[in-house]
Amino acid sequence: VIVGLVGLEGDVQSLSHDVSVQVSSKMGRHLGFGFGDNSRRESISPKSMSTMLSHLLYNRRGSPYYVEPIVVGLEKIVVENDDESEMESGSGTERGEPRGGRKRSCQGIQYIPFLCAQDLIGAQSKSASFVCSGAASKSLYGIAEAMWIPGLK
């Protein structure tokens, strides 16, 4: 997960400190993020970071931080496929059930890009292609919309 903060330097540092405190306070909790158990390390997902940052910014809506964050990262998804390649055809399973009488599923992990820009009160703008933030964001959006094509390398 990468968080970029654009705005007034003092507000950027204050928000960065608040995010650091929030993340470290949830480390080790089973319901939070951080270390799930001692054997494997769980890190915060981009979606969770974006939501937490949005909550922090919205809580300060009366006197907001003049910061526009961008959160990017790879979101982990689990893909399940039914494996029907091991069907038996003759030995007592006339309905084509897999060996053992149960359907087996293959689980795979895929990572998809997560891009989210926010305004100074935490309103999220998610995109699958690009996000922009800062003083020149309107110009950047125009250029990005004109130049970007799917599958661009």
Cα gap 1→53, rounded to integer Å: 13
- State how far the Cα of 122 lies from the Cα of 108, in Å rounded to an integer: 33
Q: What is the pLDDT of residue 66?
A: 95
Picking from 119, 149, 114, 113, the residue whose alpha carbon sits closest to that of residue 133 is: 119
pLDDT at position 88 is 45
* Mean pLDDT, range 115-129, rounded to an integer: 92
Pairing status of strand 2-7 against strand 104-118: unpaired
pTM: 0.70
pLDDT, one tens digit per residue, over 25-70 is 877 565 555 444 444 556 789 999 999 999 999 999 999 999 999 9
